[in-house]
Structure 1
Amino acid sequence: MQYVGLTCALAFSLAAAQTTLETESWTERMMSVSSVWSVKAITNTDLKRAQTAALIQSLREKLTNIQSTVRQLPVLLQPWVNRVAIAVMQPYADASDAKRLCWKICLLNVGVWAAWKVKSWQPFMTRRFMHNPLSGLSVTLLTSMFSHRSAIHLLCNCLALESFGAAAYYHLLKEQSKAEPEILESTTSYHFLAFFVSAGLFSGLVSHIVSAKFRYPRLVAQLASPTLSAPKTETWAAAVAATSGAPRVATQKALDILPSLGASGAIYGAVTLTALAFPDSQIALFIPPSYPVNIQYGVGALVLLDTVGILRGWRYFDHWAHLGGAAFGVIYYAYGPTYWRRLREASTKAEKAP
């Protein structure tokens, strides 16, 4: 619990400090380019425009470098390489900052997923990128958040992150713009990253507490119960059956505590934050039947499904982590923007202090 609290506090503190540094850097950069900003106050909109212009210029330079390199290839390949480069760069340039950040997180998840496919790395990945509540490791609460073994699991989480993560990002941006007086903020990316990591850690902590504080003591009590001891037998066959049955029962009991991985808990935080921030929005499955429903009904159904899963003892998904992430999203919707504003104010004052 201390690890989660300290890591979350560190994530938000670093995010606020880095946001302040980057904002100051862009402000100085704009003032050095044009004297207009010495008499006109720079706004967040001005910062966004400057960043967009710089990004487009950077992409154009990269495309020019690619085209100059491609000239060394056979003539038949040159147009294909150029088309691929444009097909990648154009959507990236057109996308919002939120989409671009979510894509980067997804790429990180893809990299970890690819590492799972290396057979010789699997023992290391199992120890360091899956969280086992009985392992005594706390860092895996963080690393397991970006870990997926199944391609379907990875795909579903990436699709959900791209949509709900971008919406949550926009809400954080909108809330920051309401600050009075306005606090310059060149990017919301660090804020969202701190939110995403904290939501994942909180959801993992909820699942960890349930397993370590409730399931494990119950498991120990069940294994120590006389009902699992070998009963008295009168024949040799009965004795063999009794001794072979007890280990199977113990093994089945031990399977009640399973390691976990995946970004579902963090994404659930973005889902509930989005549902509260945009209550009139509609959502639909990306596969048929894709009938649109109100987001609050859809999220309510997901929470109800996880609640039923807990009551019924379903173990295919980590339902406690899902509910923990959902709870974090609700809490952050209520108190997060105010907390972030105070961090930014403190960071800005510290930066301006002599």
Structure 2
Amino acid sequence: MLSTIIASWGHPVLFTISSPEWFFATLLLMPWTTYPAWKSKYLSPWLIQHCTHTIISGKSYTMLTSIFSYGSTSYLVFMLLAAPIANICASSWFMHSLQLQSTYESTPTFHMTAFFLSAGMFSLFSSRILNYVRFRTLNHLEKSFKNVSLVPPLRSSSNPFRRVSGASGVIYASITLAACEWGDKIYTDTRLGSTSITMSDLWKIWCAVEGIFMVMGVGPINWAAHICGAAYGALYQQYGPAMWLWFRRTLGHYS
């Protein structure tokens, strides 16, 4: 549905943005502008009520605003460091994908926008499901072992880290795109002799470690959002371009 709406934005040949990666970077770094409002004691309660998403709220627009809603200083630093890397990975992949397609789309801007928003919402919701399954599984195992606590304390719904899973999921989805596309490149560490490993293997190891942290409940970080973002990036690298072309043809942009 989201991709259909974005795909319907005008005729693709009219959009000739020379550097679409800057457009993507603008969207990716948009939460920075909301940071002062989240730190305000007057605006923060209103933002929590009207801009963060819960299943029982009955508000559809919060599915988008939740992606950009946070007021954590440490997370702002994370975005500062990770966003440029994700920007390079995503823009390179989309430009490469555009060159392989026999279409008259002059820029991947709208395709990138659809990916950005869909990756954010996917990681936002799927991470909650994954955390729920994890909690239920550990809770069931805990009942099998007396005097053993396997389930970390539940975080408060007002914790700012619960509202940032969408943006962090986009970061991991973007990096995964590049890791899947160009992951066969070899990284060699001469300090360890002839040790060689592909970039995709390095990324798999990184995600596996975060998966362990997720199960253990290490730190106030939503590890599940990172894992779900990486999963979305892998799926999109395989099926995303075909899905995008299908949407465009459905809307009559391609013959």
TM-score (norm 2): 0.76
Cα RMSD of the aligned pairs, angstroms, is 3.3
Aligned to 2:3: 12
SS at 1:325's partner residue? Answer: helix
In structure 2, what is the Cα distance between the partners aligned to 1:209 and 1:15? Answer: 27
Aligned residue type for 1:151 = T
In structure 2, what is the Cα distance between the partners aligned to 1:207 and 1:258? Answer: 17
Offset at residue 138 of structure 1 (A) = 5.7
In structure 2, what is the Cα distance between the partners aligned to 1:308 and 1:337? Answer: 31
Alignment partner of 2:155 out of 255, 260, 266? 255
Q: In the alignment, is the contact (CA less than 8 A) between 2:177 and 2:237 conserved in 1?
A: yes
Offset at residue 124 of structure 1 (A) = 1.3
Find the structure with the greater CA-based Rg.
1
Alignment partner of 1:188 out of 92, 95, 108? 108
Q: In the alignment, is the contact (CA less than 8 A) between 1:128 and 1:144 conserved in 2?
A: no
Specify whether residues 137 and 312 from structure 1 end up closer, same or farther in structure 2 by C-alpha distance, changes over 3 A only.
Answer: farther
Show CA shifts across 1:199-232 (max 9, x none): 111111112223456647988xx9xxxx9xxxxx
Aligned to 2:176: 272
Alignment partner of 1:156 out of 57, 74, 78? 78
Q: Provide the aligned length of Structure 1 versus Structure 2.
A: 232
Greater helix fraction, Structure 1 or Structure 2? 1
Aligned to 2:44: 122
In structure 2, what is the Cα distance between the partners aligned to 1:134 and 1:213? Answer: 19
Question: Matched residues, percent identical?
Answer: 25
Aligned to 1:21: 11
SS at 2:229's partner residue? Answer: helix
Whether 1:325 and 2:247 are equivalent positions in the alignment is no
Offset at residue 333 of structure 1 (A) = 0.7
Q: In the alignment, is the contact (CA less than 8 A) between 2:85 and 2:175 conserved in 1?
A: no
Aligned to 1:302: 206
5+ residue gaps, structure 1, are 1-8, 27-47, 53-95, 228-251, 284-292
Offset at residue 334 of structure 1 (A) = 0.7
In structure 1, what is the Cα distance between the partners aligned to 2:85 and 2:186? Answer: 12
SS at 1:120's partner residue? Answer: coil
Specify whether residues 116 and 304 from structure 1 end up closer, same or farther in structure 2 by C-alpha distance, changes over 3 A only.
Answer: same
5+ residue gaps, structure 2, are 188-196
Aligned residue type for 1:300 = K
SS at 2:8's partner residue? Answer: helix
Show CA shifts across 1:22-43 (max 9, x none): 42x36xxxxxxxxxxxxxxxxx
Alignment of 1:90-109 (within 5 A): 96-98=19-21, 100-109=22-31
Q: In the alignment, is the contact (CA less than 8 A) between 2:183 and 2:201 conserved in 1?
A: no
Aligned residue type for 2:48 = T
In structure 2, what is the Cα distance between the partners aligned to 1:307 and 1:163? Answer: 21
In structure 2, what is the Cα distance between the partners aligned to 1:313 and 1:136? Answer: 30
SS at 2:163's partner residue? Answer: coil
